[in-house]
């Protein structure tokens, strides 16, 4: 018996040769893969934008980096969108750093000031650069900031400049918390008396009616001012630590209670408005007057995200009524909200999942009844691109309509308000990003797949005819350097019927005779789907969730995968509803079945050694994988995790776990379930994370310690939410992730980096 056992063991080892030892050179090569590969392509274009009807602009790859290009529709000429060297110099001066002109720190921009400036996002802030003297400066959003849009920051004064009426005869502002008006040049007169510090009128909400006879504003009862405190241990400008503060409402906190009020300006009369239809607001949209000044309207989103209404208030009586009412037993996905009034509100276009799929509806603005379900079928409207009221047509993007294609591939269509005349503007078997010209006569179609680099075409909307080939990519150098696209893989989910889609990334030196440990890159947030469908493999940061980050890890001797399980977006409402009060699920029953299906097809896929990693909500899911499925997931690395949804921002968490806070928050809490840990866990968190309260990680660590569990923790001074995912060629957090999987999943001791030759410190105090 013993001899037989030895023979079996020997045969097993012969069939599954040991993977090669990873060296420091191997590790360095993987960590630098993005930097060494992402500049090897030419004419790979990003989706385009329009500047008027006759010019469009986009970014594309060139030797050494990226160029921003403007295309003149009339002449076919391509010119630089701006002087990139001067933008690099101006932005570098303003940000006290340096930039390569071909590697500017933003991917998209918009023209501003009639083409005299550009705006873009950089370093978690908005920026503006002029195109005359190329001076750059931060351009924060105007007005008073708020915590996640629901609690105003009262430490910042509101913009209380006088709001002038459309006819130029009147002005309105707030005085001593009340609304005041005056004829231009005359004396101010307060026309409300119910405003106070605890129930004030918001000057930034004041809107005049088109006829200048009326105005509306929100009276606000302030919510709870919750402040998150963070100690910056090593600030750049001093030796001693600093205390950083942030307005940060959390689930269950009191939000600002807004009440719309209508005034007759000349008469100085305030109209009483019952609030029965909007009694428990989470959020109210901006007040909007109808063109005839007869009514003012807004969207009411009820706390708990199970009721929404379009409400209009009669400007003669102050009486509100519901134009559209939307309800859900689980949640209304506010991230997919769309509403547009037609013919002064006589009709309303509205997006809804009421039939089990996300579709467009036309409502009667007077009766509140559905006149037409414009789109219908087992597919999903992703977004509305344009509404042509004159032609009564809608341009929209949708996925899942084309049989035989990946149901996540997006195509663009045109349809009439009556639900007739459905016309596809895109056809290639790929994911399509479409940019319509302002007059909707032309569109740029940029389409790709993970194995098809993007093609960018200019076409006519009238017949889909090709006007110009804007860019055709060349990735020959990248392929010569060893790039290989990932393999899409589909398996059945927990119900035995639903297709679950994912990607497989193998080492570039993959040996089919060997067995490889498996690592899952997870992000299971219900607000979207995450498996890449377009080609650009490099993401927007080193080690990110795009293909190259997975390839970097795979090259060390792993098979790395990414999956969209149930509970994520862009499929049916039932598929999405799995997440409702059930974030602990994270689609794991589907994911595990998907892994097993891959292993059944590919013998080298070793599901006895499965690891997992993710950031933010993916960090939470990483922990939950180890806590709830230890029989399958053995090793995890969690970046910037939200380990207890009660510690995280109010918006995201109440959307999916509901309000008031209940047991579902505890069920999804890694902190409350820390005692379950069996596998190996590494947590990495940035000390200055503004997105997820970093105390969540330390609370999880505390719970693990109290449960007498072993784990590893890396707190990175000064880093934010993207910790372990920065833009440098070598990232310390990513290296620690790779080493953790090598040690605990592959059974290899990583290189001893401390044995390298000593180097001079980067900076001395």
Tens digit of each residue's pLDDT (9 = 90 or more) over 392-438: 999 999 999 999 999 999 999 999 999 999 999 999 999 999 999 99
Q: Helix 547-554 to helix 732-744 angle, to the nearest 10 degrees?
A: 40
> What DSSP character marks residue 453?
E
Tens digit of each residue's pLDDT (9 = 90 or more) over 307-329: 999 999 999 999 999 999 999 99
Cβ atoms 625, 641 nearer than 8 A = no
Q: Is residue 393 part of a domain?
A: no
Tens digit of each residue's pLDDT (9 = 90 or more) over 591-633: 999 999 999 999 999 999 999 999 999 999 999 999 999 999 9
Assess whether the previous peptide bond of 682 is cis (omega < 30° from 0).
no
| Res 603: pLDDT | 96
What residues contact residue 555 under an 8 Å CB cut-off, 6+ apart?
A: 26, 29, 30, 33, 507, 508, 509
Residue 763 in this model has a pLDDT that exceeds 70: no
Residue 115 in this model has a pLDDT that exceeds 90: yes
Residue 546 in this model has a pLDDT that exceeds 70: yes
Cβ atoms 522, 618 nearer than 8 A = yes
As a whole number of angstroms, the distance between CA 343 and CA 726 comes to 49
| Res 175: pLDDT | 98
Q: Is residue 562 part of a domain?
A: yes
**Closest Cα to residue 473, out of 487, 459, 465, 483?**
483
Q: How many CB atoms lie within 10 A of CB 630?
A: 13
More confident residue, 540 or 5: 540
| Res 764: pLDDT | 43
Average pLDDT over residues 209-222: 98
> pLDDT class for 722, splitting at 50, 70, 90?
confident
| Res 577: pLDDT | 98
> pLDDT class for 723, splitting at 50, 70, 90?
confident
Q: Is residue 223 part of a domain?
A: no
Interior/surface letters 454-468, b for 16+ CB within 10 angstroms, e for the rest: bbbbbbebeeeeeee
Tens digit of each residue's pLDDT (9 = 90 or more) over 558-586: 999 999 999 999 999 999 999 999 999 99
Residue 729 in this model has a pLDDT that exceeds 50: no
Give the number of domains in the chain: 1
Q: Helix 732-744 to helix 24-31 angle, to the nearest 10 degrees?
A: 130
Tens digit of each residue's pLDDT (9 = 90 or more) over 458-473: 999 999 999 999 999 9
Q: Greatest CA span in the chain, whole angstroms?
A: 105
Both tokens of residue 603?
């013998």
Note the Cα 215 to chain centre separation in Å.
Answer: 35
| Res 762: pLDDT | 52
Note the Cα 591 to chain centre separation in Å.
Answer: 22
Residue 515 in this model has a pLDDT that exceeds 80: yes
As a whole number of angstroms, the distance between CA 80 and CA 68 comes to 6
Q: Is residue 442 part of a domain?
A: no
| Res 541: pLDDT | 54
Angle at 152 between CA 147 and CA 155, to 5 degrees: 105
| Res 730: pLDDT | 60
Backbone φ, ψ for residue 372 (5° rounding):
-150, 135
Sign of the C-alpha dihedral computed for residues 573, 575, 578 and 583 taken in this order: negative
Please provide the average confidence, as pLDDT, over all residues in the chain.
94
As a whole number of angstroms, the distance between CA 374 and CA 379 comes to 13
As a whole number of angstroms, the distance between CA 17 and CA 694 comes to 42
Tens digit of each residue's pLDDT (9 = 90 or more) over 530-544: 999 999 999 865 445
How many helices and strands in the chain, by DSSP H and E? 13, 46
Strands (E) in 418-575, as ranges, are 423-424, 431-436, 442-449, 452-460, 466-471, 487-492, 499-505, 516-521, 559-564
> pLDDT class for 331, splitting at 50, 70, 90?
very high
Average pLDDT over residues 220-245: 97
Tens digit of each residue's pLDDT (9 = 90 or more) over 477-496: 999 999 999 999 999 999 99
As a whole number of angstroms, the distance between CA 344 and CA 348 comes to 9
> pLDDT class for 13, splitting at 50, 70, 90?
very low
| Res 749: pLDDT | 95
| Res 728: pLDDT | 47
| Res 14: pLDDT | 38
Q: Helix 588-601 to helix 617-628 angle, to the nearest 10 degrees?
A: 70
As a whole number of angstroms, the distance between CA 127 and CA 384 comes to 27
**Closest Cα to residue 426, out of 450, 401, 404?**
401
Tens digit of each residue's pLDDT (9 = 90 or more) over 338-377: 999 999 999 999 999 999 999 999 999 999 999 999 999 9
Both tokens of residue 457?
């075409």
Sign of the C-alpha dihedral computed for residues 571, 575, 577 and 583 taken in this order: negative
> pLDDT class for 549, splitting at 50, 70, 90?
very high
DSSP alpha helix (H) spans, 614-673 = 617-628, 650-657, 663-667
| Res 159: pLDDT | 97
Residue 7 in this model has a pLDDT that exceeds 50: no
Angle at 125 between CA 123 and CA 127, to 5 degrees: 100
**Closest Cα to residue 657, out of 465, 477, 525?**
525
Q: Is residue 589 part of a domain?
A: yes
What residues contact residue 519 under an 8 Å CB cut-off, 6+ apart?
A: 553, 558, 559, 560, 561, 610, 611, 612, 613, 741, 745
| Res 526: pLDDT | 97
Q: Is residue 294 part of a domain?
A: no
Residue 140 in this model has a pLDDT that exceeds 90: no
Q: How many CB atoms lie within 10 A of CB 632?
A: 19
Q: Is residue 498 part of a domain?
A: yes
As a whole number of angstroms, the distance between CA 757 and CA 735 comes to 19
DSSP 390-443: TTTEEEEEEES-STTS-TT-EEEEEEETTS---EES--SSSEEEEEE-TTSSEE
| Res 18: pLDDT | 62
Question: What is the CATH number for 495?
Answer: 3.40.50.1820
Give the range of the structural domain holding residue 567, as residue numbers without chain letter. 487-749
Q: How many CA atoms lie within 13 A of 536 on its CB side?
A: 20
> pLDDT class for 204, splitting at 50, 70, 90?
very high
Q: Is residue 674 part of a domain?
A: yes
């Amino acid at each position: 018996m013993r001899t037989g056992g030895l023979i079996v063991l020997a045969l097993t080892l012969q069939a599954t040769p040991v993977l090669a030892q990873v060296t420091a050179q191997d590790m360095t090569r993987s960590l630098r893969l993005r930097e060494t590969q992402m500049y090897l392509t030419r004419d790979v274009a990003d989706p385009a934008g329009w500047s008027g009807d006759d010019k469009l602009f986009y970014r594309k790859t060139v030797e050494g980096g990226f160029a921003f290009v403007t295309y003149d529709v009339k002449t076919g000429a391509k010119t630089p969108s701006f002087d990139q060297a001067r933008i690099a110099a101006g932005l570098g001066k303003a940000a006290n750093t340096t930039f390569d002109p071909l590697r500017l720190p933003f991917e998209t921009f918009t023209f501003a000031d009639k083409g005299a400036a550009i705006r873009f996002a950089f370093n978690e802030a908005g920026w503006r650069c002029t195109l005359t003297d190329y001076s750059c400066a931060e351009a924060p959003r105007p007005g008073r900031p708020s915590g996640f849009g629901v609690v105003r920051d009262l430490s910042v004064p509101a913009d209380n400049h006088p709001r002038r009426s459309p006819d130029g005869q009147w002005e309105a502002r707030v005085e001593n918390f009340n609304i005041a008006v005056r004829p231009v040049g005359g004396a101010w007169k307060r026309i409300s008396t119910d405003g106070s510090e605890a129930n004030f009128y918001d000057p930034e909400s004041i809107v005049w009616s088109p006829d200048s006879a009326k105005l509306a504003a929100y009276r606000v009862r302030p919510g709870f001012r919750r402040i998150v405190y963070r100690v910056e241990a090593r600030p750049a400008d001093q030796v001693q630590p600093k205390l950083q503060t942030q307005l940060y409402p959390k689930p269950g906190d009191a939000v600002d209670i807004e009440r719309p009020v209508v005034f007759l300006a000349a008469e100085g009369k305030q109209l009483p408005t019952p609030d029965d239809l909007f009694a428990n607001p989470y959020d109210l949209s901006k007040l909007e007057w109808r063109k005839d000044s007869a009514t003012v309207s807004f969207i009411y989103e009820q706390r708990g995200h199970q009721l929404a209404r379009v409400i209009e208030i009669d400007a003669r009586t102050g009486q509100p009524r519901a134009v559209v009412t939307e309800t859900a037993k689980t949640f209304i996905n506010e991230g997919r909200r769309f509403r547009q009034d037609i013919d002064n509100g006589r009709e309303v276009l509205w997006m809804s999942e009421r039939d089990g799929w996300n579709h467009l509806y036309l409502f009667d603005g007077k009766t509140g009844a559905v006149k037409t379900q414009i789109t219908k079928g087992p597919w999903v409207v992703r977004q509305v691109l344009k509404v042509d009221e004159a032609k009564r047509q809608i341009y929209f993007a949708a996925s899942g309509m084309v049989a035989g294609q990946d149901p996540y591939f997006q195509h663009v269509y045109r349809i009439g308000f009556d639900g007739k005349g459905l016309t596809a503007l895109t056809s290639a078997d790929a994911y399509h990003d479409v940019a319509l010209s302002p007059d909707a006569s032309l569109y740029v179609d940029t389409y790709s797949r993970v194995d098809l680099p993007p093609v960018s075409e200019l076409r006519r909307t009238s017949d889909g005819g090709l006007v110009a080939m804007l860019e055709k990519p060349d990735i020959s150098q990248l392929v010569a350097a060893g790039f290989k696209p990932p393999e899409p893989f589909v398996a059945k989910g927990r119900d035995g019927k639903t297709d679950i889609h994912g990607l497989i990334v193998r080492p570039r030196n993959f040996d089919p005779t060997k067995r490889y440990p498996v690592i899952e890159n997870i992000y299971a947030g219900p607000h979207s789907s995450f498996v890449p469908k377009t080609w650009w493999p490099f993401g927007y940061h080193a080690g990110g969730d795009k293909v190259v980050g997975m390839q970097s890890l795979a090259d060390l001797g792993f098979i790395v995968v990414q999956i969209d399980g149930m509970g994520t977006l862009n499929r049916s409402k039932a598929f999405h509803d799995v997440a409702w009060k059930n974030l602990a699920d994270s689609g794991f029953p589907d994911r595990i079945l998907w892994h097993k299906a891959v292993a059944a097809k590919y013998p080298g896929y070793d599901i006895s050694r499965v690891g997992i990693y993710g950031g933010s909500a993916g960090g939470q899911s990483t922990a939950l994988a180890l806590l709830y499925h230890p029989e399958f997931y053995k090793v995890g690395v969690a970046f910037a995790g939200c380990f207890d949804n009660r510690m995280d921002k109010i918006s995201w968490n109440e959307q999916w776990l509901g309000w008031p806070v209940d047991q579902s928050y505890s069920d999804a809490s890694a902190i409350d379930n820390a005692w379950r840990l069996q596998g190996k866990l590494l947590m990495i968190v940035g000390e200055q994370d503004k997105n997820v309260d970093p105390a969540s990680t330390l609370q999880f660590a505390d719970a693990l310690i109290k449960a007498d569990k072993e784990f590893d923790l890396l707190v990175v001074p000064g880093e934010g939410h993207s910790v372990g995912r920065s833009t440098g060629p070598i990232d310390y957090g990513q290296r620690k992730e790779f080493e953790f999987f090598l040690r605990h999943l592959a059974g290899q001791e990583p290189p001893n980096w401390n044995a390298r030759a000593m180097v001079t410190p980067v900076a001395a105090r």
